Amino acid sequence: IELGKAYLVDKRFKEAEEVFKKGLTQLQRNGRLLFGLNLSLKGQGRQWDAFWVEREMHRALKLSSQPLSLDSL
């Protein structure tokens, strides 16, 4: 997650996407990974893909009490 966050900060969205997708192969439906993937897709202008990831993210985080931000990754 830290590497993906660093890529997001540097606006290297494609690399961030790859990191978060790889993480999701090991931890399916992980809210933090889905959040990072969502940000990376939005950064690439892929709003439609980000929409579907965001839906999954909300399902994964529906019991979470803490809001997510880039700092919380």
Residue 8 makes CB contacts below 8 A (sequence gap 6+) with 16, 36, 39, 40, 43, 70, 73
Give the mean pLDDT of the chain: 93
pTM of the model: 0.89
For 19-46, write each residue's pLDDT tens digit: 999 999 999 989 999 999 999 999 999 9
Which is more confidently placed, 42 or 69? 42
The model's confidence at residue 71, banded by pLDDT at 50, 70 and 90, is confident
